[in-house]
Chain A
């Protein structure tokens, strides 16, 4: 094939005397790809995930270093200085009891992150175990999955509210309530993955190679389950943070003595039209954190596919 723009050689040969011009070098359409290595390369290829990781790291640092980040006691009352707008002294203003919102938001990160990560870890671990049992022990599958369906038929927030109504409000109980509500989704996902993996020829190949069932689960099923599971875990983490905020907002979550983004917003709700800053800052932090977790989840999803491993 002659490149477009090159003279038609047949026509030139048919008409002697016409000089044949050499085709000019065409520019390469695809410049050679130089793969940047290291952190900068990863950031360049996955900018969204990098932003997510950065925000999440900042939140983690804020939660860990809360006492030294120029905060005051987040529960200290100062009725004479209530409902202040942001200023040099009160960066995010004060609430109706005169408490410093900046300090409360920074300390509130602890609750959100603890709840998000604990629920993600617990729900994944328990859901993984249930899903594996359900996928491998066919006689239990029907019973286990009907129980999971029953749990799933109740909206997770309602279920968490109902569970919280049974106990006292504390961070531990919030984690437990949201975990129970999230387990069925993980169990269903894992069961589905296990059932499809069991049909893979490489699992038959492993059977023919003399592997025992536990060895097949360990070497073939689990590693291929972890990728979708860890992606699911990030989404559970994000949804647990929101659920925690909702529970705190309606007064069924963390006790009022522990600042959390949900209960800061709940307390500012009455003053929303007069002093929107009370609601604005915890809402901003919650949105940013949830967005960051979701960005990380999307990045993980792309990165954990072994066929895309080279792009990481």
Chain B
């Protein structure tokens, strides 16, 4: 069996925090602490979680936009996290990115044609001006933008159109994987739906794998195959979409799902309101990182770190409750 397209093993990223006047040995923000997952060709894995849980850092590590502190990123059986910048460059063709902000993700001084030509030139995918123009036109067709867009500047487009330009740039080098870092979060609802549908169409047509980083559970439920839920730099639950949304197996996932607005006035809702704030990633709590806010926490949670446990073929969760007899497990 061939290896998965992307494998992330025990990924860790700490950011040094300078403390004191001279910035001596300071603490570290443990943005990502031991994250593992894999992604198959043509599959969508969504990483969800609240702001600051490290989901974007995972995306940037996969893109090799930052150097990891520990762990491995393996693309198609080849480790890429320890490659030099020069050795990484040709491999960048296979992993592309769409950013959240459609305004700052495109250079305001470049015409759309030049924006799309940049990856084509870098990876030598089009020789000569005519071939380049043909590729640019084809890319604009793919993302359903008019061809005359090529001669215009990003500021002449709306947010949704710019996001299509961003997607076209990501598609230009014919990647296997696109990291969508909150790619639709900044868009209006109707535009959001268009862009999401476009991404799904492209996935079907081109066999793309998507790493979809989002905090919008409604969108995630609409388009993903699998979901990884992150809290304070760790994955607390990773499962097939249907399992996560129908039968979450981690108290944090439950709370997250209960916070999704229901578009139905007067609908009965059992909201689980978490108490307190997210603890600081500089000094995360011992044991289970969620125990300070977990409604079901017991003694073991405060001392022992729970590992991801396979609960069914398509569902893993990191919670000590599942070691208890079913009668004492509110999540069973």
Query: How many angstroms from the CA of A1 to the CA of B271 in the assembled complex?
Result: 41
Instruction: Give the residues in chain A near B89, CB-CB below 8 Å.
Output: 210, 212
Contact A208 B122 (CB under 8 A): no
Instruction: Give the residues in chain A near B97, CB-CB below 8 Å.
Output: 204-205, 208
A210-B93, A212-B89, A306-B153 as given contacts; A205 in contact with B169, CB under 8 Å: yes
Q: Which of B63, B105, B123 contacts A202 (CB under 8 A)?
A: B105
A201-B101, A306-B153 as given contacts; A209 in contact with B109, CB under 8 Å: no
Query: How many angstroms from the CA of A210 to the CA of B99 in the assembled complex?
Result: 16
Query: How many angstroms from the CA of A205 to the CA of B109 in the assembled complex?
Result: 15
Instruction: Give the residues in chain A near B41, CB-CB below 8 Å.
Output: none
Q: Which of A206, A208, A223 contacts B109 (CB under 8 A)?
A: A223
Instruction: Give the residues in chain A near B99, CB-CB below 8 Å.
Output: 201, 204-205
Chain B positions 134 through 162: 1 when the CB is less than 8 Å from some CB of chain A, otherwise 0: 00000000000000000001010000000
Contact A208 B96 (CB under 8 A): yes
Contact A224 B107 (CB under 8 A): yes
* B82 proximal to A (CB < 8 A): no
Q: Which residue of A lies closest to B103 (CB)?
A: A201
Contact A219 B169 (CB under 8 A): no
Q: Is the interface of A mostly helix, strand, loop or mixed?
A: helix
Query: How many angstroms from the CA of A220 to the CA of B122 in the assembled complex?
Result: 15
Instruction: Give the residues in chain B near A201, CB-CB below 8 Å.
Output: 99-101, 104-105
Minimal beta-carbon separation of B154 from chain A (angstroms): 9
Query: How many angstroms from the CA of A215 to the CA of B107 in the assembled complex?
Result: 14
Contact B107 A220 (CB under 8 A): yes
Which among A202, A208, A212, A220 has the greatest number of chain B C-beta atoms within 10 A?
Answer: A208
* B65 proximal to A (CB < 8 A): yes
* B281 proximal to A (CB < 8 A): no
Instruction: Give the residues in chain B near A200, CB-CB below 8 Å.
Output: 104, 107
Chain A positions 209 through 249: 1 when the CB is less than 8 Å from some CB of chain B, otherwise 0: 11110010001100110000000000000000000000000
Query: How many angstroms from the CA of A24 to the CA of B60 in the assembled complex?
Result: 61
Contact B173 A210 (CB under 8 A): yes
* A58 proximal to B (CB < 8 A): no
Contact B108 A307 (CB under 8 A): yes
* B90 proximal to A (CB < 8 A): yes
Instruction: Give the residues in chain B near A202, CB-CB below 8 Å.
Output: 104-107
Contact B92 A209 (CB under 8 A): yes
Instruction: Give the residues in chain B near A212, CB-CB below 8 Å.
Output: 89
Minimal beta-carbon separation of A215 from chain B (angstroms): 8
Instruction: Give the residues in chain A near B105, CB-CB below 8 Å.
Output: 201-202, 205
Instruction: Give the residues in chain B near A211, CB-CB below 8 Å.
Output: 118, 122
Instruction: Give the residues in chain B near A223, CB-CB below 8 Å.
Output: 107, 109-110
Q: Which residue of B lies closest to A202 (CB)?
A: B107
Q: Which of B101, B122, B155, B172 contacts A306 (CB under 8 A)?
A: B155
* A61 proximal to B (CB < 8 A): no
Contact B107 A208 (CB under 8 A): no
Query: How many angstroms from the CA of A25 to the CA of B101 in the assembled complex?
Result: 43
Contact B65 A208 (CB under 8 A): yes
Contact B108 A210 (CB under 8 A): no
Instruction: Give the residues in chain B near A209, CB-CB below 8 Å.
Output: 92, 96, 118-119, 122, 169, 172-173
Chain A positions 176 through 209: 1 when the CB is less than 8 Å from some CB of chain B, otherwise 0: 0000000000000000000000001110111111
Which among A210, A212, A215, A307 has the greatest number of chain B C-beta atoms within 10 A?
Answer: A210
Q: Which residue of B lies closest to A200 (CB)?
A: B104
Q: Which residue of A lies closest to B123 (CB)?
A: A210
* B95 proximal to A (CB < 8 A): yes
Minimal beta-carbon separation of B92 from chain A (angstroms): 5
Query: How many angstroms from the CA of A207 to the CA of B96 in the assembled complex?
Result: 10
Give residues 72-129 of B contacting A (CB, 8 Å).
Answer: 89-90, 92-93, 95-97, 99-101, 104-110, 118-119, 122-123
Q: Which residue of A lies closest to B179 (CB)?
A: A208
Instruction: Give the residues in chain A near B63, CB-CB below 8 Å.
Output: 204, 208
Query: How many angstroms from the CA of A223 to the CA of B122 in the assembled complex?
Result: 19
Which among A201, A224, A306 has the greatest number of chain B C-beta atoms within 10 A?
Answer: A201
Query: How many angstroms from the CA of A210 to the CA of B173 in the assembled complex?
Result: 10
Q: Which of B60, B101, B109, B119 contacts A210 (CB under 8 A)?
A: B119
Chain B positions 263 through 279: 1 when the CB is less than 8 Å from some CB of chain A, otherwise 0: 00000000000000000
Minimal beta-carbon separation of A248 from chain B (angstroms): 40
Query: How many angstroms from the CA of A224 to the CA of B99 in the assembled complex?
Result: 20
Instruction: Give the residues in chain B near A207, CB-CB below 8 Å.
Output: 65, 92
Q: Which residue of B lies closest to A306 (CB)?
A: B108
Chain B positions 21 through 51: 1 when the CB is less than 8 Å from some CB of chain A, otherwise 0: 0000000000000000000000000000000
Enumerate chain B interface residues (CB-CB to A < 8 A): 60, 63, 65, 89-90, 92-93, 95-97, 99-101, 104-110, 118-119, 122-123, 153, 155, 166, 169, 172-173
Known: A201-B101, A224-B109. 9 other contacts (CB 8 A): A202-B105, A204-B63, A204-B65, A205-B99, A208-B95, A208-B97, A209-B169, A220-B107, A306-B153
Enumerate chain A interface residues (CB-CB to B < 8 A): 200-202, 204-212, 215, 219-220, 223-224, 306-307, 309
13 CB contacts below 8 A, A to B, read A204-B60, A204-B99, A205-B105, A205-B106, A206-B107, A208-B63, A208-B96, A208-B97, A209-B118, A210-B119, A210-B123, A220-B107, A307-B108
10 shortest interchain CB distances as A-B pairs: A210-B122, A209-B119, A201-B105, A201-B99, A223-B109, A202-B107, A210-B92, A208-B97, A307-B155, A306-B108
